[in-house]
Structure 1
Amino acid sequence: MEAIRKAREAAGWWAGLSFRERRAHLLSWKRIIAARSDELGDVIHAETGKPLGDALLEIMLAVEHLDWAARNAERVLKRRRVRSGLLAADQGAALEYRPLGVIGVIGPWNYPVYTPLGSVSYALAAGNAVVFKPSEHTPRTGEWLAAAWAEAVPSPVLQVLTGDGAIGAQLVAAGVDKIAFTGSAATGRKVMAACAQSLTPVVIEGGGKDAMIVAADADLDAAAKAAAFGGFGNAGQTCAGVERVYVERSVYPEFLAKLAAIAENLQPGDDGPYGRMTVPAQVDIVRRHVDDALARGGKAVVGGPESIKPPYVFPVVLAEVPEDSAAVTEETFGPTVVVNPVGSLDEAVSLANATSFGLAASIFSKDTGRSRALARRLRTGAASINSVLGFAGVPALPFGGVGDSGFGRVHGADGLREFSRAQSVTWRRFSAPMEVMSLSRDPAVLDRAVKLFRIRHARGATPRPADPRSPGRPGA
């Protein structure tokens, strides 16, 4: 693949730059994106159907991460001394993070700038070249980013390949040093299987079925607004949004009424609170989930099958939906929210965790300490307390999931290290006072070393009683 050949050549130059030199190039790229954000926003709007305001918000979040990666790469990845320890006292030791080489990034269509730049920005800041394959539904967005890069940095350190899944498969098989994939769990498994053939490492973000927990003491107005934003924003096409809500029974009717009042007044459109469904096939998934939920005894509090008017889907609020329905177990990726009552917060946590996904969750309660304790029990990569998607705007926080939501992390220091390889280096500073790393070591030296070892590590241990049936050790 020609793009990989060019990337290999460019990677040598890019990795040879200092952190400060790379930072200057990355910040030049950032300034172009920020200065022309209206232009990029128009491209995103045209390709995804999301309102221009949402497109601009996505760009702003992406630029914050780009800026953080550029400015913090040296602090996170620079060479640093580490303690050698007593056994290796004669050795000096240091740790350094080196670039992997060429990173292949396969991006999604729902957030065509924010999500892929979570990998692209951090991979570049870590000293790698990147070949980026945007979704076939948002190719112009990817091409715009590549053109902005070429203007800021006249080197193919960042290249874009457009096309369908076949191009992505070629990229996976082209011999890159790591793949960063965002998409469905099913496709993620195929990517991982292909990477296994060459032992190419991979970081995967495979979607979510994210839950919100609403405690009896929560600010219900704030919780309802957040559930609406997380569930209906971007037409529900947000992997870390809100698809399930578990509400303590005592406040369940009031919360449901507040959420319904918000949903009933939402009208999708080009200038509405959210836009069309980006991918026509996603409409069929939404329809199937709504039909299944109602067939199993769930209630349509707002909307229903009649809400599906391609290319738009009007808000759907479903209540008391069986936990084994598709609307609860599968990622819907549409503007629908399932709201179910629970008898306790323990039950809410149990139900929130009863999924193969584990990307994000949110908790609403006035008791912050209890909320933090609940967050620790959630099987997710991220959690927000009294907000949704709060972590998305914090560049220092890593992002990623468990289970079908994938593995590996982007963003933050963990994201920089995700696209690096740790290299450990030692050097002998002086002759060891006790030479034990030798084939000709003195038995007396080893004996002294063992005595020191036991003094240091076995002090306070209770000796095992002697077994009277065991013969004595020779010379004992």
Structure 2
Amino acid sequence: MPTTAIDTAAGREAAAAAGITISDPRTGEVLWTVPEADAGTVAQAVEVARSAAPDWAAAAPAERGAALKAAARALDAAARELAGLNASETGRPVEEALAGIGAAVSTLEQYAELAPVHRGHSLRGNRLAADYTVAEPHGVAVLLTPWNDPVAVACGLIGAALATGNAVIHKPSERCPRLGEALGEVLAPAFPPGVFLTVSGGAVVGALLSQSEVDVLAHVGSSAAGARIARAGALTGAHVIRENGGNDPLLVDRDVDPAWAAEQAAIGAFSNSGQICTSVERIYVHRDIAEDFTAALQAEAARRNADGSVAPLVDLRMRDQVHAHVADALEQGARALEGGAVPDGPGSFYPATVLSGCTDRMQVMAEETFGPVAPIQVVDTFDDGLRQACSGRYGLAATVLSSNIAHIQQAVAALPVGTVKVNEVFGGAPGGAAQPRGESGAGFGYGPELLDEFSRVKVVHIAAPPSATDESPHSPEEARP
């Protein structure tokens, strides 16, 4: 339901029976039910955004930047409340949720600064003419965002789309609908009416939005949903931006400290309970250090399980998927050195799990598990590990731990992914962007390049007319082809 001055009472009443029910991931207790938008509400949101888009596109970039700064201030003021909703709906610890919201504030501020300096290019042509490009907004952008870092990811797309002059319809994940609505209520007042709308719902609402006559579809989420959105965009002509699933490999060379490598692996596999797009999903470790590495990673997992630092998965459906991958590996001969079983008690907890003896035939190595699972495959040489790391249909990110510059350069050249991380599983400079490959998506995500994704380019050629004293026009040779 749009969180602006739109009359959605009828839509809410019609959708109330098919609302989204959210349970606390820690206790299993039902928290609330949030109504879903119906087809009429979706159509109304598109109409309102379409009406608001021209004036927002005509606003000066500095004016749009000022609005984004106001939105960032409002988000910062509401951080504690939003972090509490994030913890309630997804199970993410409040301090981690606050860190994500802090990143979102910084992202909005970044795009507020970039908006006035987002520029075109001059083109070399006739010396008496001017050729240049102008960036223009597409129009109406639909943003479909995930639950695993819901505020930070959403604000990356929101900031870039609004900075470039698009009107925005945001559909947050159905796994955190109350948080998504609250985020809309915080941000929308910073912009003119109709420029930023929020619509709640699940896959049906996402399909309705994707099939609407809008200009941009930006999606962060599963590869299956991304493929459906890409097909919808192909039919409507919308520009599609996707960051989708990943099965990110970690390649551990023989010349690194195994304890340090295990710490990196644990950070990559267990942070946010493995529910990060670029989590470590599969590990290839050189045989020479495999025993020490595996023992150290087992100890890291055991420590996290003992101190209760592994938060619950978002819901029971996600836990069922994670455990199905683990059970498949165990049935095919893998060993659970730590974890690997569904715990007793309420909620959707799953322990940090270390699996040895894994092969690429196992789902836990071939698919995106999206849980706190570290599957290990031992390889005889760096080349063997790199070959395995390059396999699969995803292409989001990969990490290489090595002191061998030749191996590092070889991996950078060979890995078919959008981001290669060397000797650090997470991190990177502010403003970084990448282009996912394969089933992991397409188009730049984040950074200054995302402004280009939300813009169309117009080429302008201006020639001087013949002056009153110049009776001959330019020669044909000077004409632009």
TM over 0.5: yes
Determine whether 1:73 maps to 2:108.
no
CA contact (8 A) 2:243 2:445 kept: no
Query: How many angstroms does 1:29 deviate by?
Result: 0.7
Letter in 1 for 2:442: F
Letter in 1 for 2:328: D
Cα deviation code 1:386-440 (max 9, x no counterpart): 111223xx342113411110111121121110000011111124643344769xx
Instruction: Name the CA shift for 1:201/1:29 in 2 (closer, same or farther; >3 Å).
Output: same
Aligned residues between the structures: 431
Instruction: Name the CA shift for 1:4/1:336 in 2 (closer, same or farther; >3 Å).
Output: same
Q: Within 5 Å, which residues of 2 pair with 1:438-453?
A: none
Query: How many angstroms does 1:306 deviate by?
Result: 4.6
Instruction: Name the CA shift for 1:239/1:79 in 2 (closer, same or farther; >3 Å).
Output: closer
* TM-score between the two structures when normalised by the length of structure 1: 0.86
Letter in 2 for 1:334: G
Query: How many angstroms does 1:93 deviate by?
Result: 0.5
2:312 maps to which of 276, 290, 295:
276
Q: Within 5 Å, which residues of 2 pair with 1:13-412?
A: 13-75=55-117, 77-84=118-125, 88=126, 91-267=129-305, 272-306=308-342, 311-367=348-404, 370-391=407-428, 394-412=429-447
Instruction: Name the CA shift for 1:243/1:308 in 2 (closer, same or farther; >3 Å).
Output: farther
Percent of paired sites with the same residue: 34
Query: How many angstroms does 1:97 deviate by?
Result: 0.9
Cα deviation code 1:61-118 (max 9, x no counterpart): 222222222212333x32442212xxx5554200111111110011111121122222
CA contact (8 A) 1:132 1:158 kept: yes
Letter in 2 for 1:48: T
Letter in 2 for 1:424: V
The 3-state SS of whatever aligns with 1:39 is helix
CA contact (8 A) 1:122 1:410 kept: no
Cα deviation code 1:179-238 (max 9, x no counterpart): 001221112121222222222221112210011111122233332222112111111111
Query: How many angstroms does 1:35 deviate by?
Result: 2.6
Instruction: Name the CA shift for 1:79/1:185 in 2 (closer, same or farther; >3 Å).
Output: closer
Structure of greater Rg: 1
CA contact (8 A) 2:342 2:350 kept: no
Letter in 2 for 1:313: Y
Higher mean displacement: 63-72 or 321-330: 63-72
Q: Distance in 2 between matches of 1:23 and 1:195?
A: 29
Determine whether 1:3 maps to 2:45.
yes
Instruction: Name the CA shift for 1:83/1:273 in 2 (closer, same or farther; >3 Å).
Output: farther
The 3-state SS of whatever aligns with 1:390 is coil
Cα deviation code 1:431-472 (max 9, x no counterpart): 43344769xxxxxxxxxx9xxxxxxxxxxxxxxxxxxxxxxx
Query: How many angstroms does 1:346 deviate by?
Result: 1.8
Q: Distance in 2 between matches of 1:36 and 1:80?
A: 39
CA contact (8 A) 2:212 2:236 kept: no
CA contact (8 A) 1:44 1:141 kept: yes
The 3-state SS of whatever aligns with 1:11 is helix
CA contact (8 A) 1:283 1:313 kept: yes
Higher mean displacement: 371-380 or 354-363: 371-380
The 3-state SS of whatever aligns with 2:81 is helix
The 3-state SS of whatever aligns with 2:236 is coil
CA contact (8 A) 1:68 1:395 kept: no
CA contact (8 A) 1:212 1:245 kept: yes
Query: How many angstroms does 1:167 deviate by?
Result: 1.1
CA contact (8 A) 1:307 1:315 kept: no
The 3-state SS of whatever aligns with 2:238 is coil
The 3-state SS of whatever aligns with 1:412 is coil
Instruction: Name the CA shift for 1:372/1:22 in 2 (closer, same or farther; >3 Å).
Output: farther
Letter in 1 for 2:239: P
Query: How many angstroms does 1:385 deviate by?
Result: 1.5
Instruction: Name the CA shift for 1:156/1:339 in 2 (closer, same or farther; >3 Å).
Output: same
Mark the runs of 5 or more structure 1 residues left unpaired by the alignment: 439-448, 450-476
Q: Distance in 2 between matches of 1:163 and 1:268?
A: 37
Q: Distance in 2 between matches of 1:123 and 1:297?
A: 48
Q: Distance in 2 between matches of 1:133 and 1:382?
A: 27
Query: How many angstroms does 1:281 deviate by?
Result: 1.1
CA RMSD of aligned residues (A): 2.1
Q: Distance in 1 between matches of 2:74 and 2:140?
A: 24
CA contact (8 A) 2:396 2:437 kept: yes
Mark the runs of 5 or more structure 2 residues left unpaired by the alignment: 1-42, 466-472
Query: How many angstroms does 1:152 deviate by?
Result: 2.6
Cα deviation code 1:350-403 (max 9, x no counterpart): 111111001011111234564244223211111211111223xx3421134111
CA contact (8 A) 2:134 2:458 kept: yes
Q: Distance in 2 between matches of 1:233 and 1:121?
A: 26
Query: How many angstroms does 1:292 deviate by?
Result: 1.1
Instruction: Name the CA shift for 1:308/1:118 in 2 (closer, same or farther; >3 Å).
Output: farther
Q: Distance in 2 between matches of 1:363 and 1:308?
A: 36
CA contact (8 A) 1:268 1:275 kept: no
Q: Distance in 2 between matches of 1:11 and 1:204?
A: 23
CA contact (8 A) 2:123 2:132 kept: yes
CA contact (8 A) 2:399 2:422 kept: yes
Letter in 2 for 1:33: L
